Structure 1
Amino acid sequence: MDQSTSLHVKCEVIDTGEGIQDQHIDNIFDPFFSTKGDKGTGLGLSQVYAFIQRSLGGVDVKSSQSGTTFAIYFPALESKSKLMSQAKLNFEHVHQTPCRILVVDDEASLADVIAKLLCQAGHTVDTKTCGMDALEVLKEHSYDLIISDVLMPDVNGFSLVKQAQGLHPEIKVQMISGYVDIEKVSDFDSALYANIIRKPFRPQELLNRVATLCSK
């Protein structure tokens, strides 16, 4: 990767394993590529690569029989204090119409972070870590908005939303995901896919989208 035109921060991740075989090195960032068989999803490195790209960074990989080195480059920030101040200003100027939100994500830690962010903005939030539990709570309670991951172990996000809208036709929807193979997802919805928020996302992006949806 050519770093001559701009200033970057370099982060190296190094292991001392057996290295990556030559025939696999060009595929390690491909979604669903895994050498672990049924024990691997093949999504870990693809999501990392997507995050690096959205951060305008880059990654170099060097591997040998004595281990592998991932060199990750991120653009350096000129003024952290200025950016933080601007972020606070933007947060304060996003008008949030309080609404009741259900967050569904099999990553419990991410669901909790999203819930805390939305609660700080004045919303009432419940979280579930699987689609089946979400459907059960939707049978008993109504929500203004559902924020759902796509790839989950029991019910994928599109199928969950389809059933949720059957119970509550007026419910608003926001999908979030790191990667979606549209050919392998049941009940795929092109309109929801077009407005998906890609992981990892900035808090401001989610707040803006929620403000728009809850004001309709």
Structure 2
Amino acid sequence: MLKSKKDNIEFSKSIISSGIVDSLLFIFETRDITLITIPVVQLFNQLTKVNDEINTLLFEQKNPYRYLFWVLQHSEKELDIIRFTINSIFNIILSGAVTTQPTEMHPHYESIKQCDGANKLFSFIELTDVYKQIKDSAVISFGNLYKAQEVPDEMAVVIPYLKSLLRSSDQWIRQQSRIALLRLGQNPVNRQKIETEDFKLPE
């Protein structure tokens, strides 16, 4: 869909301003979940892969989280729809994390809280009937969302899960889990929970 880097950015901006994104979000919110097709969620996911500037525009102008989490909640066994939706959420959360100072709370936190998004991401850690890549992406997203904020005690299991991902055979998963732990470690309570059993935060 998208071509050179410069063209991608300009084309993506035009998609956001032209009403195409509004149409996709309207489909997410109003169409029966059984009628939401993989190409629709894949198209939105493709847009979130362009760069941080586009994801910042998406958040500031469209705030798509409630639509994405609605699709996530109602997709049930549609694993490909869940995968593309989780990846979209991951990309937008990641852009919010990298465009703010390490010691600042995530700029999207309140918006995600309003649609119970943190709990929905956390719920993936206990699922056994989803692709591991989906579960890993959801937990890393949770870690990025809580950067510099104390993780609630009832959700602290994400910390050993993220630490376990440092041993993943997937280099990208290892890298992203390390970065998520570093962001969580900006909070002293989180850091204490991370640095147990002689484990030291990777630099």
Common fold: TM-score over 0.5: no
Give the TM-score, by structure 2 length: 0.26
TM-score normalised over the length of structure 1: 0.25
Higher percent of residues as helix: 2
Structure with greater strand share of residues: 1
| Larger Rg over CA atoms | 1
